[in-house]
Amino acid sequence: MLLTILIVVTLALIAMLFELPSLIKKAFTREAFAYSFMLIIGSILSVIALRDIHIPSTMRVPEMMYKPLYEWMQHTFNVKDG
């Protein structure tokens, strides 16, 4: 397990070493920041996936927000499920 995490981190560092110098040399600081941020987030998510950690769905938030509206519309228009 530790070896796979080390491989993910090493590959991320290698990718960063190849891409960041050219972005910084061309003065693309925002792009360099965005690239670094996405690479770090992607690496973290890869390690989480490798460790079989369950991440809840992001659809829970909109579901909680729209459920009362859905139920109200269902009651108002006399719509039945199914």
Predicted confidence at residue 29, as pLDDT, reads 92
Q: For the purposes of burial, counting CB atoms within 10 Å of the CB of 5, is it exposed (0-12), middle (13-18) or buried (19 or more)?
A: middle
Gap between the Cα atoms of 28 and 79, Å rounded: 54
Average pLDDT per 10 consecutive residues for the chain, totaling 82 residues: 90 94 93 96 93 88 91 87 64
pTM of the model: 0.67
Cα dihedral 31, 21, 18, 12 sign: negative
Q: How far is CA 11 from the centre of its chain?
A: 18
Q: What is the domain partition of the chain in residue ranges? A: 2-56
Rounded Cα distance, 57 and 70, in Å: 20
